[in-house]
Amino acid sequence: MKTPRIARLLIVASLLAGVSPAALARAPRPATRAHSTAPMQTYSDNEVVDQASKFFSTGAKNLSQVVGKVLKEKGRPVAIIRGEEAGGAIGIGLRYGHGELLFKGAPVREIYWQGPSIGFDFGANAVKTFILVYGLPNAAALYQRFPGVDGSLYFVGGFGVNYLQRGSITLAPVRFGIGWRQGIALNYLHFSPTKRIDPF
């Protein structure tokens, strides 16, 4: 019969490989291994404060208060956006910006954002923007609309921050510049990988 011959060949092969016949008999069939993803690296408090200070190059005391508030409430960010934006409003306003998206240990990505606002919001601005990003799994997840969170505005010494949120992703834009404005307005920012004219 062929069966004993096959069995003998398996035993010989297992001995040559250094595996006992009993272990070979118990060995499970190969299975597809689930894909594992390493935890995303975060920026420490010191790294955030250092990057923000270098980016704004002014108002260290007031900046540390604003950034410190965000870090205390939200913890360590998984990404940072550094950029500039400009806009204006007379009740209804627009905002356009562009900058760099930084994940720790990953290449820098160019990013754009735009969005409308409506409410008691008046003035014009041209500002530098430093955005702390939380809960973002990858760059592609940023390309959507993020509504403003009511009552989240915090302002001190020319620096201001408010929260934007979509699902589990939270953004905390820290702004400083000529004609800084926020007002009481309903607003959102729409992020995209390329420049857009349509703010909606």
CA proximity to 189, closest of 151, 139, 149: 149
Token pair listed for 199: 């703010």
Q: What is the pLDDT of residue 57?
A: 84
Task: Judge contact between 78 and 135, C-beta under 8 A.
Answer: yes
For the chain, the structural domain boundaries read: 1-31, 45-192
Task: Judge contact between 122 and 91, C-beta under 8 A.
Answer: yes
Output the 3-class SS for 106-122. Answer: CCCEEEEEEEEEEEEEE
The Cβ of residue 30 has, within 10 Å, a number of other Cβ atoms equal to: 6
At the fourth CATH level, the homologous superfamily of domain 45-192 is: Rhodococcus equi virulence-associated protein (2.40.128.480)
Q: For residues 79 and 104, give the distance between their C-alpha atoms in angstroms, rounded to a whole number.
A: 7
Give 95-124 pLDDT, tens digit per residue. Answer: 889 999 999 989 999 999 998 766 555 556
Give me the phi and psi of 30, to 5 degrees please: -60, 140
| CB-based burial, 86-114: b 16+ in 10 Å, e otherwise | bbebeeebebbbbbebbbeeeeeeebbbb
Angle separating helix axes 45-56 and 60-74, nearest 10 degrees: 140
Would you say the pTM of this structure is higher than 0.85? no
Give 5-59 pLDDT, tens digit per residue. Answer: 444 444 444 443 444 444 444 444 433 333 334 567 999 999 999 999 999 986 6
Q: For residues 108 and 159, give the distance between their C-alpha atoms in angstroms, rounded to a whole number.
A: 25
Give 69-98 pLDDT, tens digit per residue. Answer: 999 999 999 999 999 988 765 656 778 899
